[in-house]
Amino acid sequence: MTASAAPHGYTLALWTATAVTSSEQRAPGAAEVLALLAGATLAFVASAAAAHGTAPMTPDSSAHAGTRIWAAFHLPMAACAALASLLLTRCCSGPLLWGLVGTTTTAVYLLGVSAQFLCFAVRHDTQQTQTLTHQRFTTPLALDPAAQDLLFRQAGTVDSFADEPVTDDQIEAIYDLIKYAPTSMNQQPLRIVLVRSAQARERLAKYLSEGNRNKTAAAPLVAVLAADHEV
């Protein structure tokens, strides 16, 4: 029932407010109608200016039925607008009254509907966080799925390299990562020789298979890994 009011929620609120005002005052004339239109327009412009640049909050139609509260505030906002209009008739009249009715009705309706979308967004984000947390702690693997893909499912042999140089900071960062790998009795037998110059590459190339020579020569950096058996 509340969802059926969604397409005409503002119309319902404005009609209710103007009906209450007309019952308490005389029927509006041309000046009062123009004042009502000007007040409503002013409220729309002010609300749009305040909301400009903020993140959009769009209800997710695929969300659980318990979280789809959008459209539920249309009828209460129409009642609030009618109450505000009734109070305004007690303190003013004429075009000023109708201008305030347009401004108040529009502002009350927009703020109320914005509040329900905000409630939906907060609740929906909380449920998504809880779902992700549940999935994280119930997965049979502790390793993050993205890391699983990088290390296993999408891993492959690299046959070509970019000409971008490898910096010393990058080398140090890589070494700081791999040096913590477990080894037998923590002997740390890994030894690394970094080959950069063309002369060193030529000396290395004769020990490589034919298929590896060209891509090794094109790589910005070559790392020769060895194990020290005398540690």
pLDDT at residue 148, as a whole number: 87
Per-residue CA distances from 78 to 10, 64, 97, 105, 194 (Å) = 8, 27, 18, 8, 75
Q: Give the chain's mean pLDDT.
A: 79
Over range 131-142, report the average pLDDT. 61
Q: Which residue has the tokens 């009715």?
A: 101
Over range 61-78, report the average pLDDT. 56
**Is pLDDT at 94 greater than 70 in this prediction?**
yes
**What is the 8-class DSSP label of residue 170?**
H
Identity of the amino acid at 151? L
pLDDT at residue 67, as a whole number: 42
Dig out the tokens for 213 from the structure. Answer: 């020579």
Q: Distance (Å, rounded) from C-alpha 172 to C-alpha 194?
A: 12
The domains of the chain are located at 3-138, 157-227
Higher pLDDT, 140 or 154: 154
CB 221 within 8 A of CB 193: no
- Of 58-62, 85-89, 94-98, 200-204, least confident by mean pLDDT is 58-62
pLDDT tens digits, 7-63: 567 777 888 888 888 888 778 888 988 998 898 888 888 878 887 766 555 544 444
In percent, the amount of the chain with pLDDT more than 70 equals: 77
CATH 3.10.129.10 fits 157-227, yes or no: no
pLDDT at residue 8, as a whole number: 67
Q: Distance (Å, rounded) from C-alpha 133 to C-alpha 140?
A: 14
**18-27, 105-114, 210-219: which is most confident:** 210-219
